[in-house]
Structures are given as C-alpha cells and as structure tokens.
Chains A and B, each alone.
Chain A
Amino acid sequence: ELKVEQNPLFLSMQEGKNYTIYCNYSTTSDRLYWYRQDPGKSLESLFVLLSNGAVKQEGRLMASLDTKARLSTLHITAAVHDLSATYFCAVDSNSRGGSEKLVFGKGTKLTVNP
C-alpha cells in the first residue's frame, strides 16, 4: 500500500527566506504532482513530475523528483506573503498503468510573515 508523507506539516517563515518541503513515498512510482490550495478553495496544479531527475520551476517555486530515493522536494526561494497556502504532493499509486489513482500527502500549511 502506497503511503505518502510530507514534512513539515506546518511551516511559518519570514518573507525573503528560503525553505524546502519534503515529500516521501513508500512504493515505486514515477509520477508525482504538487498542488496548492488556498483556504476554502479548490486545488490548483503546480507541477507534474514524470521521471527520475525531473526538475520544474515556476516563479519562486522549484520542484524536483528522485524516484530512486522516493523523494520529491518543493523549494521556496525568497518567500513572499502570496505564497501562503497549503501545499500537497500526490503520487500515482498505479505502477502498471491505468488510472491516475493518486495518494495525497497530508499537506504542508505554509504561512509567510512580513
């Protein structure tokens, strides 16, 4: 059974600082997603990582995937208040193809303080 763990679950940081959110998963998968959720809102797709070594960047966020270590990271550079949200990683549990049965981590609630 696939398990996905994120840490930290809560992160309070100052504007301008850097930090990394970690996503570990327990079984083989080469498809990982990062989503953002604002309070009371839907989930917004940030990154899709499809292979070992994949790295994607959008603005102050950069995501990477190491399938051998079963680890993805979401790095925040020079945080700004607008990045305050909950971030989820999700891993495709179906290693033999078929549906995208995603297993989500519990989320990291990020608060960026002035």
Chain B
Amino acid sequence: NAGVTQTPKFRVLKTGQSMTLLCAQDMNHEYMYWYRQDPGMGLRLIHYSVGEGTTAKGEVPDGYNVSRLKKQNFLLGLESAAPSQTSVYFCASSAHGGRTSYSNQPQHFGDGTRLSIL
C-alpha cells in the first residue's frame, strides 16, 4: 500500500540547473498538490490539480511549473533553480475537493523531497 510516493528523496542542484520532482499516487485521487516547507513557515501551496490535464496556481507559484498528464502523477518542475528554492517539497493527494461530499478524508502526504540549491 504505497499511497503517495515522491522521487527523488534528496537532491543537490547548482544555481541555474533544472529538474523535475515526481509524485505518484495509487489511491485514484482526483486532487493533487505540491507544497514547500521552510523552517518556521509551515507548508505553503505551490500548485495544485483538480484532475488529469488541469493545473492551478497556489500561494507561491513563481519559479515552478507543473503538469498532470496522468491522473496518478503530478510533476513539479524547476526551470532555473535558485538558492531561494532550497526547501523540503511535499506532494499530497485527496479523494475529493468539493463540498458536495461531506467526506472526512484528509489530504495524504508523501515523504518529501529535500532539495538544496547551491
């Protein structure tokens, strides 16, 4: 029962390099999210997706792009990495996003990707 799997777990980049973080979920969830966690800041939403082929901006989207070509995968891209993007990145998924269903299902989180940019 894998849940939400993030790849890679650790990465060190040089300023200006690009990379893609992969998130995969096996729970058939419609909604997926990318967050960053910085010390003393809690989690902040970068981008999210409400379904295959859709993406939307969150609170801190600048410098990142995302794609959701398949329902189970959500990719986060850094086109030109900057030291300010050094952070722990978490992917999450949820079964629904609307108030039409009063399900009590929370967002399920992956183990995180620790990214350092030198």
Distance of A35 Cα from B42 Cα, bound (Å):
11
Q: Please indicate the chain A residues that have their CB under 8 angstroms from the CB of B50 in the complex.
A: 98-99
Q: Please indicate the chain B residues that have their CB under 8 angstroms from the CB of A101 in the complex.
A: 45, 48, 58
Task: Name which residue of chain B comes closest to A54, CB basis.
Answer: B104
Distance of A23 Cα from B41 Cα, bound (Å):
15
Interface flags, A98-114, vs B, CB<8A=1, else 0: 11111111110000000
For the complex, is A68 an interface residue (Cβ under 8 Å from B)? no
For the complex, is A50 an interface residue (Cβ under 8 Å from B)? yes
Interface flags, B99-118, vs A, CB<8A=1, else 0: 11010111111111000000
Q: Please indicate the chain B residues that have their CB under 8 angstroms from the CB of A80 in the complex.
A: none
Near B by CB (< 8 A), chain A positions 73-113 give 88, 90, 94, 96-107
Distance of A92 Cα from B32 Cα, bound (Å):
15
For the complex, is A18 an interface residue (Cβ under 8 Å from B)? no
Q: Please indicate the chain A residues that have their CB under 8 angstroms from the CB of B94 in the complex.
A: 100
Distance of A97 Cα from B96 Cα, bound (Å):
11
The 10 closest A-B pairs by CB, nearest first: A99-B97, A104-B42, A45-B106, A97-B99, A104-B43, A48-B104, A43-B109, A106-B42, A42-B109, A42-B111
Interface residues on B, range: 20 to 34
Task: Name which residue of chain B comes closest to A107, CB basis.
Answer: B42
Q: Tell me whether A100 and B31 are in contact (CB under 8 A).
A: yes
Q: Please indicate the chain A residues that have their CB under 8 angstroms from the CB of B108 in the complex.
A: 45
Near A by CB (< 8 A), chain B positions 32-64 give 40-45, 48, 50, 56, 58-59
Main secondary structure of the interface of A (DSSP, over half): loop
Distance of A45 Cα from B106 Cα, bound (Å):
7
Q: Tell me whether A33 and B45 are in contact (CB under 8 A).
A: no
Nearest CB on B from A58, distance (A): 13
Q: Please indicate the chain A residues that have their CB under 8 angstroms from the CB of B74 in the complex.
A: none
Q: Tell me whether A98 and B109 are in contact (CB under 8 A).
A: no
Near B by CB (< 8 A), chain A positions 18-67 give 33, 35, 41-43, 45, 48, 50
Distance of A99 Cα from B96 Cα, bound (Å):
7
Task: Name which residue of chain A comes closest to B44, CB basis.
Answer: A104
Cross-chain contact of A88 among B40, B42, B98, B99 (Cβ < 8 A): B42
